[in-house]
Structure 1
Amino acid sequence: MYPRHDWRPLPAARGEVRLSPDMPALRTGSGGFLRLHDLPGPGRIPTYRYLLRVRRAALEREERVRASRWPEGRRSVLVLGRDRLSRALAAELARSGADVSRDTGSEQPPRADAVVDVREAPQRSEPGEPPGQLIGGGTVLLRGRREGSRMLIFPLAVDGSEATPDQVSRRRLAASAAAPELSSWLSSSRRDPRPLARATLTLTVARCLSILEDWAAEDPAVAEHRRLLRVIGDGLRERTHTVLGFDEPAPRPQGPAR
């Protein structure tokens, strides 16, 4: 048994507990501290039963925190794709407390409050928009695609006024000193056979999770997420670029053939 003045792990739970008479406390898995107002009687069995009670209370509190992080109306998240990155995103979103569903390939995918279309597949080989029935009616959309050894996370689409991936590409070409080469590379059908670096994948998952948690909490940071292109490269480096959406010009009328 641990001395009562020491911190000990809770059985089968995240967190630690200290049972000293002068300062009984619980440290939760998220790093918070809670004071305990009673102590177990002497002996191993009373102590073990007491720790089980504390564990149950800690788990119930953690579940309440998870539910508040993803309120009703902003809780259901549909994750598209079946690659390694999509699976990691779905797992972390579920662990965070979101109600996650996966793309089954059906013609009528499940209705969701948010759609996540972030995959290891290169952007150039994927259609610019997900199926139309997935978005609209208050559903937000987070898109991302691999570009060589790095990942691009596009602005969070909330009401359709944000820059689309196609508009992002056009802005990049307009600003590039090597626009012809970039255009040729983006339109190439070649795929990099090497898996995305683990560090890049991990940072991509973490960034997507923070964006979606901010949206679920209606955090003011969402305004920034709606206008930033994020580029996650090697060495856990992230660069951001402001990209604003714009109204597409009307198609030019076709004059008579000459």
Structure 2
Amino acid sequence: MQLHTTTWGEGERVALLIHGIMADHRTWRRVGPVLAERGYRVVAVDLRGHGASGRAAAPSGYTPQDYADDLVETLPAGAELAIGHSLGGLTLATAVERLAPRRAVYVDPAWHLPSGPGGYQPELFTQAKSLTRDHIRQFNPRWEDEDLDIEVDSVRRWDERSAHGLLPFTGKDLWPARAVVPSLLMLADPSMLVAPERARMLEERGFELRTVAGAGHTIHRDDFDGFMTALQGWI
């Protein structure tokens, strides 16, 4: 599937931005322009089922492989930098060998979907359709007003079937076996997706680890300055 994209800047270096579940390219509204100021042509996608991109015919059309194939079909190979958040981190890792960016940054990636009681529950995501702006602020008190407005709209546009499409992958080993390209693993504090022992495992597999103190899952919205500081040496 050819994805909808948004571009900032006209630099010779290319940076790719891949959002998480329920979001779209607008989650990068501050990151994209700052990277453009640093000489990048920044390309942000709307994943299938999100934003202005197409929808799959059924929940079974929302697998990590589907998302990754879309990236490969849509984005240029050999970019200077690729950044994926949450579901975008899982998608980037699945596509990274074919996309072959020079550097990859995985922001609190969804590389493990726990199964069983207390595990991954699609219904919790679909309930977000009914959340108001005030509800979103309660969950994300550090977000700017514009991010709250964007979240309300992006969740409204999101195809909730995509949450159910990930259900068959709960309990599976989705951890990357190695860092295919020089890779930074940036984590929230604490990360609900990458436990400390898993972070150590990933360091042993070649990932550089940085944690943004006090930041929630959507680090670039929770603490933009901390996010950009954590990217030092990688952008």
**TM-score, normalised to structure 2's length?**
0.33
Higher relative strand content:
1
**TM-score, normalised to structure 1's length?**
0.31
Relative contact order: is structure 1 or structure 2 higher (C-alpha 8 Å, sep ≥ 6)?
Answer: 2
